[in-house]
């Protein structure tokens, strides 16, 4: 086994062990990366990177978009917009077979178009949609899977923080990347809804039907 392969195996194992010990993920990745680089290239270059890289990254104006996305997600969550998105989607499709699950996917897509983060989309919709799906009798595992799948829309539907970072690192046009993400994002939403329908036909007991929202509620949504 080559030395780089051995370092990679030990590094991955060390990251998992540290995370199981509840060490913050940023510390896990940083410590293991510096240790692995020091093993392969020497400790002096590794310590040099440790001194230089954090300052260079933190002071890079291009990366100021990341905390702004976090702030935008916090404002959306605090304003209750995520809950309103779910209510609006649920009022429209909730009465259909698998409708609450499809409403969750649509709400994830709407939240992704505001926030741009998969982790934030999944975490927010967990607090909003999961209790509702559990309340109407949805299978717990299926409900969690729907939210996890819908959360992936966060990095695909523009504006996406990952598109911006990719554009910065590869010197690509960010606006063009945003446009390129629209159709795949909508296609993913459609395919998720089709998958929900397929699961409903196989496991109807996982997704009980719910009452149709009244006309006023649909209009308000």
pLDDT of the residue at 1? 61
Both tokens of 159, joined, read 């504006």
Cα separation, 50 vs 6, whole angstroms: 22
Q: How many domains does one find in the chain?
A: 2
Does one domain contain both 127 and 216? yes
Tell if the pTM clears 0.85, that is, is over it.
no
| Average pLDDT, integer, range 209-214 | 81
174 within 8 A of 166, measured Cβ to Cβ:
no
Q: What are the backbone dihedrals phi and psi of residue 93, each rounded to the nearest 5 degrees, phi first?
A: -120, 0
Most confident among 9-18, 42-51, 69-78, 209-218 (mean pLDDT): 9-18
Does one domain contain both 7 and 85? no
Does one domain contain both 101 and 209? yes
Both tokens of 199, joined, read 């699961």
Which residues, including other chains, have CB under 8 Å from residue 152's CB and lie 6 or more apart? 118, 122, 188
Does one domain contain both 49 and 140? no
Last residue of a domain, one of 59, 85, 101: 59
| Long-range contacts, stretch 57-64, CB < 8 angstroms, 24+ apart | 62/168, 63/165, 63/168
Does one domain contain both 135 and 31? no
Does one domain contain both 102 and 175? yes
Q: Note down the domain range covering 146.
A: 64-220
Does one domain contain both 42 and 73? no
């Amino acid at each position: 086994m080559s030395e780089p392969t051995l370092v990679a195996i030990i590094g991955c194992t060390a990251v998992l062990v540290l995370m199981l010990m509840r060490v913050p993920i940023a510390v896990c990745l940083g410590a293991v990366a510096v240790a692995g680089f020091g093993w392969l290239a020497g400790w002096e270059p590794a310590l040099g990177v440790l001194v230089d890289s954090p300052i260079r990254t933190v002071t890079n104006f291009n990366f100021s978009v990341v905390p702004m996305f976090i702030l935008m997600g916090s404002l959306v969550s605090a304003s209750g917009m995520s809950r309103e998105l779910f209510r609006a989607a649920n009022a429209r499709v909730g009465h259909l077979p698998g409708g609450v699950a499809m409403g969750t996917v649509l709400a994830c897509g709407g939240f992704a178009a505001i926030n741009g983060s998969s982790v934030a989309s999944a975490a927010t919709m967990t607090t909003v949609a999961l209790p509702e799906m559990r309340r109407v009798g949805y299978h717990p595992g299926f409900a969690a899977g729907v939210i996890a799948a819908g959360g992936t829309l966060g990095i695909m539907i523009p504006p996406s923080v990952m598109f911006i970072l990719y554009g910065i690192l590869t010197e690509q046009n960010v606006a063009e990347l945003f446009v390129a993400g629209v159709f795949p994002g909508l296609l993913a939403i459609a395919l998720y809804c089709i998958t929900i329908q397929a699961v409903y036909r196989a496991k109807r007991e996982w997704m009980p039907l719910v009452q149709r929202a009244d006309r006023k509620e649909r209009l308000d949504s």
